[in-house]
Amino acid sequence: MYYDVTIAGFGGQGVMMIGNMLAEAAMNEGKKVTYWPSYSAEMRGGTANCTVVISTKDIGSPIVGFPQSAIIMNLPSLKKYQSKIKKDGLLIVNTSLIDQKEIKRDDIDVVKAPLISLAREAGNDRLSNMVALGIFLAKTQIVSLESLFETFTEVLDERYHHLIPINKKVIQMGIDFVKE
């Protein structure tokens, strides 16, 4: 098994957080993993992306030119990555910030989700990344939900552990969005 995903947006959208969680969950399941973060010069508002590769065999390189899937949180990221997704791949698009007419691919599975609106329904619109992670998990089943939930205590600073229940709720909302 080999699977890769590029996650992209602007600083502050939690792109690195969900990439890190995905990588940790896969490692906890005994899979081989690479996690390749990339930041622009500015932290908040600048571009941020990461690539996660998950495999049962050794991984030759963390660099992925043409990913099987992408989670796209903003328009500049869509413009950069949508053409690179492999045919029959998966694209998750944050339609809270991206007009659907910007989606140009019809040879891949596209999930159009109003991520910010969905997170707002749960009480915190800053958790749109977790909605996206739930959608990704529902579509790929690349790691188990239990493994993913276990990563919260590993990747979240202890001062944020009180937010774990709402994060879990929002991930479940993403899963439910795909089922509907």
In whole angstroms, what separates CA 32 from the centre of its chain? 18
Total domains in the chain come to 1
Domain of residue 20, CATH code? 3.40.920.10
Domain that holds residue 173: 2-179
Query: Could you tell me if 21 and 7 are in contact, meaning their C-beta atoms sit under 8 angstroms apart?
Result: no
Output the tens digit of pLDDT for each of the chain's 180 residues: 999 999 999 988 999 999 999 999 999 999 999 999 987 665 555 679 999 999 999 999 888 999 999 999 999 999 999 999 999 999 999 999 999 999 999 999 999 999 999 999 998 989 999 999 999 999 999 999 999 999 999 999 999 999 999 999 999 999 999 998
